[in-house]
């Protein structure tokens, strides 16, 4: 089931649970030993994970990756936040029609989801930290050659997970959810966990592509070691301690 944020009306949120039901029933109704879940937006990610978790077979999530950051006359553009910003400037008469047309062709330079730390990248980062992807997979831009390598590696790993019977229930422990963060724990965690990444739209400078090249989610987790339970197992079949071994910290 396709959930296009810009096409589905009135909102894709209404259809997220339909996607979860479809995913669960497709897995249950076919003689499969494992599944690869390919998605990336803020509704497709939880929908696919909810369905696969309900089905109960070994499953690995393959994040779509975000597009390359936009560019307009040497200025970095982030879809979403800058779209609204410059559209308001256009309506106020501070930007010409020519400026706006140039921004339109420069803001989305590749395939992939939007490039700020919006809901799409937030959901895939949570799926990654929960342990449902290859470690660090959520940080890779869609157009980066490492994304294709990650997809191939995820396919190989899916077969191994089926042999190991590594089901979502064995990965998604209470401690794993605390690593990814539950809503009830957000306030308590925010009082002690530092903010270490200045990423739009909550930040004012960098985009998700910059996070990847600065060390990605794994680099961030390396910096946040004291706040995480690194004994939890991820889809790689390793503990987070093992996955973070030798990783450089976020630069």
* pTM score of the predicted model: 0.83
Q: What is the pLDDT of residues 100-137, one digit of tens each?
A: 999 988 888 899 998 888 889 999 999 999 999 999 99
Q: Looking at the domain assignment, is residue 250 inside a domain?
A: no
113/159 same-domain check: yes
- Positions of E strands within the chain: 35-39, 59-63, 70-72, 75-77
Greatest CA separation found in the chain? 62
Which residues 6+ apart lie within 8 Å of 47 measured at CB? Answer: 3, 16, 17, 18, 19, 20, 23, 39
Domain ranges, residue 206: 13-69+109-243
- Residue-by-residue DSSP string for 44-83: HHHHHHHHHHHHTS-EEEEE--BPPPEEETTEEE-TTHHH
Select from 88, 108, 128 the last residue of a domain: 108
12 vs 4: CA distance, rounded Å: 7
Residue 163 lies in a domain: yes
Whole-angstrom distance, CA of residue 131 vs CA of residue 108: 30
Residues 190 and 233 in one domain: yes
Residue 8 lies in a domain: no
CA distances (Å), origin 150, targets 20, 61, 162 = 24, 11, 18
Q: Are residues 60 and 130 in the same domain?
A: yes
Quick one: which of 6, 33, 26, 5 has its CA closest to 160? 33
Question: 187 with 74, same domain?
Answer: no
* 187 and 91 inside one domain: no
Digitized pLDDT (tens) for each residue of the chain, 251 residues in all: 888 877 888 888 889 999 999 999 999 999 999 999 999 988 999 999 999 999 999 999 999 999 999 999 888 888 877 888 899 999 999 999 999 999 988 888 899 998 888 889 999 999 999 999 999 999 999 999 999 999 999 999 999 999 999 999 999 999 999 898 877 788 888 899 998 899 988 888 899 999 999 999 999 999 999 999 999 999 999 999 999 999 989 87
């Amino acid at each position: 089931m396709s959930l296009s944020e810009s096409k589905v009306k009135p909102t894709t949120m209404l259809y997220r649970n339909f996607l979860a039901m479809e995913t669960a029933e497709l897995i249950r109704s076919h003689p499969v030993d494992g599944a690869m879940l390919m998605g990336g937006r803020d509704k497709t990610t939880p929908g696919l994970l909810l369905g696969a978790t309900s089905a109960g077979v070994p499953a690995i999530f393959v994040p779509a990756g975000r597009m390359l950051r936009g560019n307009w006359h040497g200025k970095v553009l982030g879809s979403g936040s800058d779209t609204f910003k410059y559209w308001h400037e256009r309506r106020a008469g501070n930007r010409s029609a020519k400026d706006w047309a140039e921004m339109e062709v420069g803001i989305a330079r590749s395939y992939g989801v939007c490039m700020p730390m919006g809901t799409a990248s937030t959901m895939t980062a949570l799926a990654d930290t929960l342990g449902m992807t290859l470690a660090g997979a959520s940080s890779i831009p869609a157009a980066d050659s490492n994304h294709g390598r990650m997809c191939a590696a995820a396919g190989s790993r899916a077969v191994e997970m089926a042999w190991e019977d590594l089901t979502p229930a064995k990965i998604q422990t209470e401690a794993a959810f605390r690593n990814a963060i539950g809503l009830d724990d957000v306030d308590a965690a925010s009082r002690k966990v530092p903010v270490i990444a200045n990423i739009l739209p909550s930040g004012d400078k960098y985009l998700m592509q910059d996070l990847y090249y600065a060390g990605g989610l794994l680099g961030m987790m390396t910096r946040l070691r004291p706040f995480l339970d690194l004994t939890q197992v991820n889809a790689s079949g390793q503990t987070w301690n093992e996955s973070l071994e030798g990783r450089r910290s976020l630069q």
